[in-house]
Amino acid sequence: MMKKSTHYPLRTTHFFPFSLLLLLLFTLPSPARIDYSRLPAARAFAERMHQRYGFDEGELLGLLKRARHQAETLARYRGRHKVGATDYSWHRYKSRILVDESVRLGVKFMSRYRRWLSLASRRYRVAPKIITAFIRVESKFGRYGHEYPVWDSLVTLAFNPNRKQKFFRGELEKLLILARKNRLDPLKLRGSFAGAMGCAQQVPSIQLRYGVDLDGDGRKDPDSIADCIGTIANFLHRNGWKNNRKTLVRARHRGEGFLRLRSGYRSLYPLATLRRYGVTPAELFGGKSAYYLRLRDGRKWDLFLGDRNYRIITLYNASKRYGVTIALYAEALRCRH
């Protein structure tokens, strides 16, 4: 006859799960102690870097062994993408960057680094104010953007499943090439959780493509303010920046038609179309077409129209809020400087 379960003491039903928990804690490897040099994918990566670029395979495995797993970084790229996870709200941009105190920091930066801003401006035909605006938004003039070890972040994201794993494996490859070309120690480089480095917050592939040795020390150093200035100017120049364009103007609206238009850094409309929906420039705008930008701050809508320069800004960071903030900050500097 089957015994009734009530014959067993209640405490035994709690003992097994607790014992199992202890067993798991002491026998399973801690994510923080993952040895990436032992992972088949990482070993294949090291072999490929040796065959394709001549890196020492043993040295790469040694670097991979020293990588520390970044659980927090990995969590950002797993599951569904959360809007705003790598961008700010329009209210936050306005309240933290487009304010007097922030603009005053930009004026001081332009004064302190006038030599390098002037050199970059002459060489690449890009105004100092727009270069300064990028560095303010990206890193608050180098104060932020060094919170994470770049090597650890990119190794973690390159060899663990996540929605951008292929991209990050490519960035790990470019990081090694960048470090070798510029005599940089990959273990000492610090940046964002996504591996963006320096005051310009560029991932390795962008740094390789646009990096500039503006201070002439023989290295394109992401942590050099002078090189950051040159790199941003080079990026803007090579993508077609023109100082004489307006970049961004405020817009007005009549009625509710403006809500039916798609808004964004790719939403280019003829001005005639915008007028049919009740949207008109609030100041002189030279072009026949404009990028339509509608940003909400609480119950209020802020409307802007952008030109080709605006679209170039968003090639650096694909966010309409980012692009508007950069343009407005540069304009605020023009009025102050």
pLDDT for the residue numbered 335 = 86
Q: Which residue has the tokens 């929605």?
A: 163
Q: What is the DSSP string of 279-327?
A: EEESS----SEEEEEEEEETTEEEEEEE-HHHHHHHHHS--HHHHHHHH
In words, the CATH class of domain 248-336 is mainly alpha
At 88-147, the pLDDT tens digits run 899 999 999 999 999 999 999 999 999 999 999 999 999 999 999 999 999 999 999 889
Q: Among candidates 285, 248, 238, 290, which has minimal Cα distance to 126?
A: 238
Q: What is the dotted CATH code of the domain comprising 40-58+146-195?
A: 1.10.8.350
* Contact criterion met (CB below 8 Å) for 212 and 245: no
User: How much is the pLDDT for 337?
Assistant: 64
- Give me the amino acid identity at 98: L
Residue-range domain boundaries for the chain: 40-58+146-195, 248-336
pLDDT digits (tens, 9 = 90+) for 294-337: 999 888 999 999 999 999 999 999 999 999 999 999 999 998 86
What confidence score (pLDDT) does residue 86 get?
Answer: 56
Mean pLDDT of the chain: 89
Distance CA 268, CA 165 (A): 32
Decide: 124 and 146 in contact? Cβ < 8 Å.
no
